[in-house]
Amino acid sequence: MAGQLIERGERIWMVRIFLGRDPLTGKRKYHNKTVHGSRRDAQRYVNGVLRDMDLGKFCPPKKTVLDKFLDRWLEKKVKPRVRDSTFRSYEQLMRCYVRPGLGSKQISKITGEDIQELYLAMAKKGLAASTIQKVHTVLRSAFRQAVKWGSLGVNPTAEVEVPKDRSTRREERIKILPLDRVQEFLEHARCSRWGVLWAVALGTGMRPSEYLALKWEDLDVDQGLVRVRRTLYRPRDGGWNFQPPKTKGSVRSIALPEQLVEDLLDHKEEQARRYGELHEIIFSTQGGEPLFCSNLRRRGLKPLLRELAIDDSIHLYALRHTHATMLLSAGVHPKIVAERLGHASVRMTLDVYSHVVPTMQREVAGQVGNLLYSSEPE
């Protein structure tokens, strides 16, 4: 019999599959696997193994502990294809939440139930559902690779339910400047050292890592636009460097208001006067290096917000959110907004700024009403 199911308890099955005889000793070889679930789940596993055997793709799971597998996966598969910050994020999620409970277990013996218990324990500690979702995303990717490498027959994360984040709606998590006070904010900011920087942030919707990496060569005065070609990256061990934008859509040209172009030219003259030379980077320190986000927020943005009695917990990214919200609220087509923001798709833009969609829907409903019912009778 090629595949045998042995019941070992309630919803616990021992799968035993004959793999043939050892060519040297002549002994029979078996693949044994404990499957948690229904008889149908166990039979599905057997069918999958038998199918892979027929195709010559099946490799018996290896006795590798999860810790060693994660080390190999992170180094060989993750590190070469993601940014350092993303790699550190993956590494931290595994170190803090997965390795302590599952790291010493053989990867082939980790079940969906084990992973489900891990998530339940995280939830009982008060960890946010979004954190558990991030852990699941990384762990699912790791186990998917384990299947490809032949360390596993099936991906145990497929059996797991991940908690949904119902605590706070997205629109409540996104903070923006009050739209009716944006002009007041910019007028007040004009008197500050980095007033033009806040104008660029609000007028373009760029990410902080993008406008802090701008060079004067990126400004096209004749066309009235700025080109996003790089981002600023600061490694954990210090220093800084420029990196290409994360996605193709992030490499873009953004049209600027005429006033903002003039403000940037004034800033160019001021930079040369203040430092005695024109630096390559538009927003730079006296030594010509990029500014720190943390310093900008603490020394520049927070004081402005406090003077205007605006919520000072607003961060640099809120200026990007404010730009998108202003455009969508003004009826600008979401595709144009997505292009300015460097989003991969319009869907992403509408998902992130879903708090604006109801207003847009009401405006459309009003326009439809005018078209249907407001015509003068003949």
- Tell me the percentage of the chain whose pLDDT exceeds 90: 50
pLDDT at 149: 80
Between CA 350 and CA 341 the distance in angstroms is 12
367 pLDDT higher than 80: no
**pLDDT attached to residue 353:** 83
Q: What is the pLDDT of residues 143-177, one digit of tens each?
A: 999 888 877 767 889 889 988 765 444 444 678 89
Is 265 within 8 Å of 271 (Cβ atoms)?
Answer: no
In this predicted structure, what is the pLDDT of residue 357? Answer: 64
- Per-residue confidence (pLDDT) for residue 200, from 0 to 100: 96
Identify the residue with better confidence: 362 or 270. Answer: 270
Residue-range domain boundaries for the chain: 3-55, 66-159, 173-364
* 255 vs 258: CA distance, rounded Å: 9
Q: Which CATH number applies to 173-364? A: 1.10.443.10
The whole-angstrom separation of Cα 292 and Cα 237 is: 15
pLDDT band at 140 (very low <50, low <70, confident <90, very high): very high
Number of alpha carbons in the 13 Å side-chain half-sphere of residue 49: 25
pLDDT at 25 over 90: no
**Over the range 52-89, which residues count as b (16 or more CB within 10 Å of their CB) and which as e?**
ebeeeebebbeebbbbebbebbbeeebeeeeeeeebee
Question: What local confidence, expressed as pLDDT, does residue 257 receive?
Answer: 93
CATH 3.10.20.30, domain 66-159, yes or no: no
Quote the CA–CA distance of 323 and 316 in Å, as a whole number: 12
